[in-house]
Structure 1
Amino acid sequence: MLKLTDKNEWSSYLRVLKYCIPYKKRLIYAVICMALSAIAAITPPWLIKNVVDDVLIRKETYMLNLLCFSVVFLYILKAVFTYANLYLMTWVGQKVVIDIRLELYDRTQRLSLLTLYSRRSGEFLSRITNDVSTLQNILASVVVDFVVQGITFVGIIGLLLFLNWRLTLATFMVIPIAVFAIDQASSKLRRVGTVIQERLAMVAAIAQEAVSSIKIVRSFATEEEEYERFKEESDLHFKAVMKGTQVRGALEGIVEVILIAALAAILWIGGRNVIGGKLTAGGLIAFLTYIGLLVQPVRVLSRVVSTIQQGAASADRVFEILDEANEVPLTEHPVVHSPMKGHVSFENVDFRYNDSKHVLNGISFEIKPGEKVAIVGPTGAGKSTIADLVMRFYDPQGGAVKVDGIDLRDLELKSYRRQIGVVPQDPVLMKGTLAYNIGYGCRGMTKASLERAAKMAGIYDFIMTLPRGFDTEVGERGVTLSGGQRQRVAIARAVVRDPRILIMDEATSSLDALVEQQVQEAMHNAMEGRTSIVIAHRLSTIRDADRILVLRDGKIAEAGTHDELVAAGGHYYRLFAASNGEHTEVG
């Protein structure tokens, strides 16, 4: 009856069920309650047979009293067992959904940047919320329906065979027709389920994209265009849902018509058996009642198929993320290197994104502990890629990146990254207080440490002017702060952990001259005594660097101090000569 068209559907379903193992005791209790509920549900028609044969025909009053009491008692038991299995399965289902959602969220947090950047963030949110919620149907309603209706179906078949096996066999000549109809609709339901979830993901992605970029939308007055995009995707999702509804409705209707046709045929055959004395009147009524009851489990089991089909589509989308390969695999026995000195070395490093051309082509250099090195070059030269490799967001395809002589691939990643401070070009602040943002990732940070970091970043005096000081809320992405204030909070966040390596990734490129000068001073304070890598777009930020590396075409074209490179008259000199003051762009 539950034949599926693809083994992968069963494998996805069974994989979801494996998440029930920690809660197997409650699951077993739930299944027992389901079985007892099903048994209580199929017993009354047998009592009806006795009412007709023993009470109405033989006129036994005692039997009438007993049967009436028994029917009420059975339905009380059925109500109790149904309540128990509903509660237990909902509990198990919710627990499993939470487990899957947490695992999926954790996995999404650890995916490679290439994977994350290749899709809209709304798609990941849809899988974490909508797809995981759909899985609860597989775990709760499907398991309940499968067990209860399955036992009901088997129990009714057994009673039908006991009442009249010849009539039962004649009845079930039509069952293969129903099975065929279910089988034909199953593959289409799977495809429709996939489309429904994909359309819903697109709806979520467009909404999230528009809301997160609301200033851009309003600045360009594109509210109507965004509304039309959202409406178009919503309409496509609506059509996909209605298509699935059509298939499900047709499947259930066809199965029910087939079974009712069988019921009419049985009434004709059974009536002739009663007339011929081969079956009692009570037996025929009970037989017909069971055939009528059989419609419900068959109809529900056919719905189970469609639910599994659509649920499998959601499961596939969830497991696609869980099975995604991580491009920075963790070693089995990582080295915990703490505290580190901060000696960074690139040894003949090759790197490219996917199958694109090399971004870095056999570059080698080293940065000594406490040295301040600036990296300049045109857009696409590989400046930010070097910073990403130091953070081990990616692994090089050739060569090695080492810290204190240890290959990053051999290090324990969390302890390593906790010794690095990063100030990005566009500092993203989390929703919360200034204290939370400055101490982000550093549990148990003292107030004195927060204040020291704020002073080093030049943001302390501003914070003290606020009514709530460090407890001031900054709003989502720090929208209540100016660009320079956000940048200085980001510097404080980077130095509060006292990192051995500090990475400044074009940290002043979007600031005006006055604010840039203030942030530069904060950067200078932050870099004191630390290995510092400055990804520079403006000459003004790198003139006092210990060394400047000039990247061109994935290679180091020049290296030296500012004065040495200007005196050499090479690429850096041409950039410097073409500049118009302190804020000339490099490349």
Structure 2
Amino acid sequence: MSQANEQKNDQKKKPIRQGFGGGRGGVGAPIEKPRNFMGSLKRLLGYLKPQLIPLIIVIVFAVVSTIFMIIAPKMLGKATNVLFEGIIGKMMPPNMTKDQAIEFLKFSGRDQIAQMLGPMNIVPGQGVNFSRLATILLTLLGVYALSAFFNWLQQYLMAGVAQKTVYNLRKEVDEKLARLPLKFYDSHPHGDLLSRVTNDIDNIGHTLQQTLVQLITAVVTVIGVLIMMLTISPLLTLITLTVIPLALLVTMFVIKHSQKQFEIQWDSTGELNGHVEESYTGFNVIKAFNKHWDMQKEFDEENERLREATFKAQFVSSLIRPFIGLINNLNYVIVSVVGGLRVANGVMTLGDIQAFIQYSRQFTMPIVQTSSIINVLQSTVASAERVFELLDEEEEIPDPENPVVLDKVEGHVKFENVYFSYEPQKPLIENLNLEAKPGQSVAIVGPTGAGKTTLVNLLMRFYDVDAGRITLDGVDIRQMRRADLRKNFGMVLQDAWLFRGTIKDNIAYGKEGATDEEIVKAAQAAYVDYFIRTLPKGYDTIIDEDATNLSQGQRQLITIARAFLANPPLLILDEATSSVDTRTEVLIQEAMNNLMEGRTSFVIAHRLSTIRNADIIVVMNHGRVVEQGNHKELMAKKGFYYDLYMSQFIGTDLEIKSSSDDIQIIS
């Protein structure tokens, strides 16, 4: 897949910016601005439609829970009034009424105390009304319990709503990935795709589960608390409202500057991660050239840069709480002083001022929280846009509605006037004609970038031809379902792909429902059975995620065994023996010759010694077939194939001239 790989290598990979700390964003997190905030947000909320009824219940429960929390300070203020009134009443003579006591205080010149007693419900000589106090406190306890219960209930229901929504979104993305053509994967970095499927969707799920409820709670809290404060004291409410713009200014100032520091931290983290990955993947080379001390020095520099950036980011972002705390405390002092004077003047009760102070502290935090939520929403909508971009990608051409199904595949393959290019401005294959009769082995050779692997991509319909057609037993492969076409092919590629699991499972991947006996026979045919049996657990040995507990040659042999087990009518071998030693190559070549017996086979090879017995050797250069025939015929011509073949055995030097259309062989 040389041309496709060139496209990937040419592409500039940019770091994916998500909220620092798992991609979830937050106060001070680096935010990737969405291009169409409202449109993307509307589309994202559309995924909540199937969960509309549970979502409405969640909103109702969130509102109810918040209302109970808003009621609580007012009730606590009433309890304070009962205590204070009882204490004052106990200190007064029992043979007086409240009005008489107030008149007596005025007559004695204590007018301020008289005014303070005015709004109180005092019974002279009577102490604390514990029965009323108990009723208030029990009711308050019930209010707190109900608030906590509804809060837990809405969190529980919202977790279900969010996870079902994310489940459906992730399922839709997974189904989309299965419908995307190979060219999409060739032109997009795998790390970017992985980030969209994991980090971005997790970011969306976190926001749906937490932020939406927080936003609802914040709005209800602000409105409810404002109403309660106005009912207690419009003057104190006005004082509290003047503090809000100052709190918002401080919040926005800190967020603005902390975002810059978090972006620097994120970049430093990316640089350090890249350095670690580079050091890990190239560990052998680094050791071989004694560069480990240089790499260590570079790591220390990057690590120090990250430490400094992280310190600044955390320091700046941590300023928001002390500043808001200072503003709240200033507000508390002002409200306490003014409220105390109003209590002393008999305008308010002590319980009312206590409740108002609690409300004033509740009032500022939801506003600050809302500004933080807006940042999180920006990050989430940016993540949603990245997921929607994936969902909106052009899919591969659908299978025909009435596909042709071949009952028995003979293996007659023809390329008829085929034109193809990965990029329209860069033609690759032009007017290609090739025929492989049933049972023939076709070897495809040529220099790197000649288009060898491209033929396999076209044959498997990983890509579709731009013009011309490819037929299988006389049927245009575009008239067949891709699954029906591909099940007739067995593939062994140069890059051995194994998944985490047992060796037995990896071999059995080639045939559904394969028996242990069939697996062992396939392994024996691939000359890997002996090696497997030397392992402690034999066929039940677990292959780790990167298959690093096996050598490259051993991995290759297992994939060859997989192809043996599949036993398809057509074979594709792309440098299948490139990673094995010479002795094993001879054995594998013999086994493959037996496997290819009676099957149409396409063999891509650079080592020309492995394809001398092929029925047809197709020599390609720059997407064109320059020669075609068997080994003897092509050697007799002493043309391009002859030069390539001889260069591998007599030490001929290859010189590639960029101004020439062909590779020139200079002896």
Q: Same fold (TM over 0.5)?
A: yes
User: How big is each residue's C-alpha offset from its partner over 1:393-437, in whole Å with a ceiling of 9 and x where there is no partner?
Assistant: 333444444434555455433343232211112323333322211
SS of match in other structure, 1:442: coil
SS of match in other structure, 1:491: helix
Query: Residues 473 and 287 of structure 1: is their aligned pair in 2 closer, same or farther, counting only changes over 3 Å?
Result: closer
Q: Map residues 487-502 of structure 1 onto 2, 5 A cutoff.
A: 487-502=556-571
SS of match in other structure, 2:36: helix
Query: Residues 90 and 273 of structure 1: is their aligned pair in 2 closer, same or farther, counting only changes over 3 Å?
Result: same
Q: Distance in 2 between matches of 1:547 and 1:453?
A: 27
Q: Map residues 161-200 of structure 1 onto 2, 5 A cutoff.
A: 161-165=230-234, 168=237, 171-172=240-241, 175=244
Indicate which of 74, 78, 84 corresponds to 2:147. 78
Letter in 2 for 1:335: P
User: How big is each residue's C-alpha offset from its partner over 1:39-94, in whole Å with a ceiling of 9 and x where there is no partner?
Assistant: 22111222244345566221472432322222222222223233333444445445
Q: CA deviation at 1:463?
A: 4.3
Indicate which of 407, 416, 421 corresponds to 1:352. 421
Whether 1:38 aligns to 2:66 is: yes
SS of match in other structure, 1:36: helix
User: How big is each residue's C-alpha offset from its partner over 1:155-182, in whole Å with a ceiling of 9 and x where there is no partner?
Assistant: 1122233344565456545545655666
Letter in 1 for 2:597: E
Q: Distance in 1 between matches of 2:389 and 2:583?
A: 49
Contact kept? 2:553, 2:579, Cα under 8 Å: no
Q: Map residues 138-287 of structure 1 onto 2, 5 A cutoff.
A: 138-165=207-234, 168=237, 171-172=240-241, 175=244, 207=276, 210-211=279-280, 215-216=284-285, 218-220=287-289, 222-224=291-293, 245=314, 248-249=317-318, 282-287=351-356
Residue 450 of structure 1 aligns with which residue? 519
Residue 368 of structure 2 aligns with which residue? 299
Residue 527 of structure 1 aligns with which residue? 596
Residue 68 of structure 1 aligns with which residue? 137
Query: Residues 7 and 581 of structure 1: is their aligned pair in 2 closer, same or farther, counting only changes over 3 Å?
Result: closer
User: How big is each residue's C-alpha offset from its partner over 1:469-505, in whole Å with a ceiling of 9 and x where there is no partner?
Assistant: 4333444554455554433322221232222321111
Q: Distance in 2 between matches of 1:543 and 1:64?
A: 102
Calculate the aligned-residue CA RMSD, in Å. Answer: 4.2
Residue 58 of structure 1 aligns with which residue? 121
Contact kept? 2:488, 2:568, Cα under 8 Å: yes
User: How big is each residue's C-alpha offset from its partner over 1:94-144, in whole Å with a ceiling of 9 and x where there is no partner?
Assistant: 555555556556656766555545566455445544444443431222123
Whether 1:379 aligns to 2:448 is: yes
Query: Residues 185 and 344 of structure 1: is their aligned pair in 2 closer, same or farther, counting only changes over 3 Å?
Result: farther
Q: CA deviation at 1:560?
A: 1.5
| TM-score, normalised by the number of residues in structure 1 | 0.82
User: How big is each residue's C-alpha offset from its partner over 1:209-259, in whole Å with a ceiling of 9 and x where there is no partner?
Assistant: 655565555555555555566666666666666666566545566666566
Q: CA deviation at 1:293?
A: 1.5
Q: Distance in 2 between matches of 1:415 and 1:329?
A: 15
Q: Distance in 2 between matches of 1:280 and 1:534?
A: 94
Q: Distance in 1 between matches of 2:524 and 2:325?
A: 76
Q: Distance in 2 between matches of 1:240 and 1:16?
A: 34
Indicate which of 561, 569, 578 corresponds to 2:638. 569
Contact kept? 1:370, 1:531, Cα under 8 Å: yes
Query: Residues 422 and 30 of structure 1: is their aligned pair in 2 closer, same or farther, counting only changes over 3 Å?
Result: same
Residue 434 of structure 1 aligns with which residue? 503
Q: Distance in 2 between matches of 1:512 and 1:48?
A: 84
Residue 421 of structure 1 aligns with which residue? 490
Residue 330 of structure 1 aligns with which residue? 398
User: How big is each residue's C-alpha offset from its partner over 1:175-209, in whole Å with a ceiling of 9 and x where there is no partner?
Assistant: 45655666677777778777776766666566556
Query: Residues 65 and 429 of structure 1: is their aligned pair in 2 closer, same or farther, counting only changes over 3 Å?
Result: closer
- Number of corresponding residues: 584
5+ unaligned residues in a row in structure 1: which ranges? none
Letter in 1 for 2:73: P
Letter in 2 for 1:8: N
SS of match in other structure, 1:394: coil
Contact kept? 2:68, 2:143, Cα under 8 Å: yes
Letter in 1 for 2:444: I
Contact kept? 1:342, 1:501, Cα under 8 Å: yes
Query: Residues 261 and 323 of structure 1: is their aligned pair in 2 closer, same or farther, counting only changes over 3 Å?
Result: farther
| TM-score, normalised by the number of residues in structure 2 | 0.74
Q: CA deviation at 1:270?
A: 5.8
Contact kept? 1:47, 1:67, Cα under 8 Å: yes
Query: Residues 375 and 49 of structure 1: is their aligned pair in 2 closer, same or farther, counting only changes over 3 Å?
Result: same
Q: Distance in 2 between matches of 1:15 and 1:192?
A: 32
SS of match in other structure, 2:498: coil
Whether 1:504 aligns to 2:532 is: no
Q: CA deviation at 1:17?
A: 4.7
Q: Distance in 1 between matches of 2:136 and 2:447?
A: 91
Q: Distance in 2 between matches of 1:102 and 1:27?
A: 21
Q: Distance in 2 between matches of 1:333 and 1:235?
A: 61
Query: Residues 465 and 571 of structure 1: is their aligned pair in 2 closer, same or farther, counting only changes over 3 Å?
Result: same
Contact kept? 1:538, 1:583, Cα under 8 Å: no
Query: Residues 305 and 582 of structure 1: is their aligned pair in 2 closer, same or farther, counting only changes over 3 Å?
Result: same
Q: Distance in 2 between matches of 1:548 and 1:199?
A: 52
Whether 1:390 aligns to 2:454 is: no
SS of match in other structure, 1:374: strand
Q: Distance in 2 between matches of 1:401 and 1:189?
A: 59
Contact kept? 1:347, 1:401, Cα under 8 Å: yes
User: How big is each residue's C-alpha offset from its partner over 1:523-554, in whole Å with a ceiling of 9 and x where there is no partner?
Assistant: 21221222211112122222221211111222
Query: Residues 379 and 22 of structure 1: is their aligned pair in 2 closer, same or farther, counting only changes over 3 Å?
Result: same
SS of match in other structure, 2:566: coil
Residue 377 of structure 2 aligns with which residue? 308
Indicate which of 194, 206, 213 corresponds to 1:137. 206
User: How big is each residue's C-alpha offset from its partner over 1:259-304, in whole Å with a ceiling of 9 and x where there is no partner?
Assistant: 6655666566666766776655544443333122112222322322
Residue 629 of structure 2 aligns with which residue? 560
Contact kept? 1:425, 1:509, Cα under 8 Å: yes
Contact kept? 2:510, 2:565, Cα under 8 Å: no
Contact kept? 1:504, 1:535, Cα under 8 Å: yes
Query: Residues 72 and 252 of structure 1: is their aligned pair in 2 closer, same or farther, counting only changes over 3 Å?
Result: same
Query: Residues 401 and 427 of structure 1: is their aligned pair in 2 closer, same or farther, counting only changes over 3 Å?
Result: same
Query: Residues 348 and 448 of structure 1: is their aligned pair in 2 closer, same or farther, counting only changes over 3 Å?
Result: same
Residue 102 of structure 2 aligns with which residue? none
Q: Distance in 1 between matches of 2:171 and 2:329?
A: 46
Residue 439 of structure 2 aligns with which residue? 370
5+ unaligned residues in a row in structure 2: which ranges? 1-26, 86-119, 123-127, 655-662
Contact kept? 1:190, 1:312, Cα under 8 Å: no
Contact kept? 1:163, 1:287, Cα under 8 Å: yes
Contact kept? 1:389, 1:395, Cα under 8 Å: yes
Query: Residues 402 and 63 of structure 1: is their aligned pair in 2 closer, same or farther, counting only changes over 3 Å?
Result: farther
Letter in 2 for 1:58: N
